[in-house]
Amino acid sequence: MAVGVTFPRGFVAAGVTAGIKASGRPDVAIIAATENIPAAAVFTRSATAAPPVVVSRAHISCGTTRAIVISSGNANAATGEPGRRDAERMTVLVAAGLSCEAEQVLVASTGVIGVPLPMEIVEQGIERALAGLHDGGGADAAVAITTTDAAPKQAEREIATSIGIIRVGGIAKGAGMIRPDLGTMIAVVTTDAPLDSQQTEQALRAAVDRTFNCITVDGCTSTSDTVALLASGACAGVLTAEDVILVGSAIEAVCEDLALQIVRDGEGAHRIAHWTVTGAKDDSEARTIAYAVAEAQLVRCALNGGDPNWGRIVAALGVTGCSVEAERIGITLGGHALCRDGMAVETVDMAAVNEAAARDTVEIAIELGVGEGVASIWASDLSKLYVELNAEYTT
């Protein structure tokens, strides 16, 4: 069945077990087009970006791409020049199997940092994945890129345009070390729309800014963050300006679906919060404030326990370094006002508030009253399981 990255026409994929993971779970994936196609990608801005990011940054500058190869279980990060050679080697092997240039192949790796890739195993996995490429391989690829994910993440959308039905699909991995910074975690989105390179780049950056760049699990940015968009053009024709907007909206919808799956899967997450900030000095400060509050450890603990402790939000607001005036702060939870003009609201239906705080998704709004800035993000809580998973990650 064609799902995820193979839902759009013009793509094949595979996910196989090479042996990188001690668990024996699938760990090498390839997503490929039938020819070189327009593509775009965004990456982590971390100063310690992994070698696969460095290689893919160089390769995406070609403007067209044939495939992306992803290994999981080992991030190939903090591995120096040998790591770069290994990342390049992965692209060379895939290119040879697809009869294209290595520069037409992107590469990503995810997992433990600081450990050299077991290249003999990786090479065998790539060979196996190349042999297994097919148009129903999207689900297998989604599984193969996971690490601590509780489940694979995939999404699909289709829209009617003037040239026919256009499809968009995607897969993503991520549950921990999630904090947006241009790109976040690893995701591959595909479409059979006939976008050119510029349209692909514009659509990806717009979608990422409003989706993947609006989530946080733990405030930690990975060394390996990569989000790529590939456009096969298998739905042939000339898009109208309205069609381009519709395709962009579908790409954003797939990205949002994947982004929310990541937040809900945030290692051990019990519930998530949808944070809305209004009345900030400007949009930039609104986003800074939203992240600062959502990532505050005491706030995350309260979210985990379903505790509507708005005092912790006020405390977090006071140290954001942004324009905050205590006497203007307003806070609502699930539509119930808890704080107004920086003080407790006198009459509150606490039974309704407690019910709202216990939902799977908690709606929290902060009004600052100092400007016109707005922001909206989604964030995970902090659970005991999150601590346990990350205390034992390499042991």
> Domain containing 281 — which CATH number?
3.10.20.340
Residues 97-115: tens digit of each pLDDT: 999 999 999 999 998 899 9
| Cα–Cα distance measured from residue 326 to residue 162, given in angstroms and rounded to the nearest whole number | 53
pLDDT for 148 equals 77
Residues 6 or more apart whose CB falls under 8 angstroms from that of 120 comprise: none
| Whether 82 and 216 share a structural domain | yes
pTM above 0.75, yes or no: yes
Residue 110 class from Cβ within 10 Å (0-12 exposed, 13-18 middle, 19+ buried)?
Answer: buried
| Whether 62 and 127 share a structural domain | yes
* Beta bridge partner(s), residue 169: 156, 190
| Whether 188 and 279 share a structural domain | no
State the catalytic residues. 184
**Position 265 confidence tier, pLDDT thresholds 50, 70, 90:** confident
Residues 6 or more apart whose CB falls under 8 angstroms from that of 316 comprise: 292, 293, 296, 298, 299
pLDDT for 393 equals 60
pLDDT for 161 equals 98
* Residue that is last in its domain, among 264, 280, 296: 264
Query: Quick check: 177 and 165 in contact, CB under 8 A?
Result: no
Residue 43 has pLDDT above 70, yes or no: yes
Sign of CA dihedral 281, 338, 260, 316: positive
Residue 2 has pLDDT above 90, yes or no: no
pLDDT for 263 equals 84
| Whether 258 and 286 share a structural domain | no
Residue 76: CATH number of its domain: 3.60.70.12
> What's the average model confidence in pLDDT over 16-20?
97
Residues 6 or more apart whose CB falls under 8 angstroms from that of 346 comprise: none
| Whether 227 and 372 share a structural domain | no
**Position 391 confidence tier, pLDDT thresholds 50, 70, 90:** confident
pLDDT for 319 equals 92
Around 218, how many Cα atoms within 13 Å sit in the side-chain half-sphere? 20
Residues 172-184: tens digit of each pLDDT: 987 655 565 544 5
* Residue that is last in its domain, among 241, 264, 287: 264
Residues 270-317: tens digit of each pLDDT: 788 999 999 999 999 999 999 999 989 899 999 999 999 999 999 999
| Whether 81 and 191 share a structural domain | yes
Residue 255 has pLDDT above 70, yes or no: yes
From 58-72, 195-209, 265-279, the region with the lowest mean pLDDT: 265-279
Around 143, how many Cα atoms within 13 Å sit in the side-chain half-sphere? 11
pLDDT for 133 equals 98
Q: Which of 184, 156, 180 is nearest to 168 (CA)?
A: 156
| Whether 190 and 288 share a structural domain | no
* Residue that is last in its domain, among 243, 264, 285: 264
| Cα–Cα distance measured from residue 328 to residue 336, given in angstroms and rounded to the nearest whole number | 17
| Whether 282 and 260 share a structural domain | no
Residue 386 has pLDDT above 80, yes or no: no
**Position 341 confidence tier, pLDDT thresholds 50, 70, 90:** very high
Residue 288: which domain range?
Answer: 272-391
Question: How many structural domains is the chain composed of?
Answer: 2
Sign of CA dihedral 295, 296, 302, 305: positive
| Whether 12 and 142 share a structural domain | yes
| Whether 98 and 192 share a structural domain | yes
| Whether 120 and 207 share a structural domain | yes
pLDDT for 45 equals 82
> What's the average model confidence in pLDDT over 127-143?
97
> What's the average model confidence in pLDDT over 363-391?
87
Residue 251 has pLDDT above 90, yes or no: yes
| Cα–Cα distance measured from residue 167 to residue 334, given in angstroms and rounded to the nearest whole number | 35
> What's the average model confidence in pLDDT over 205-211?
92
| Whether 149 and 180 share a structural domain | yes
- Residue labelled with tokens 């026919």: 164
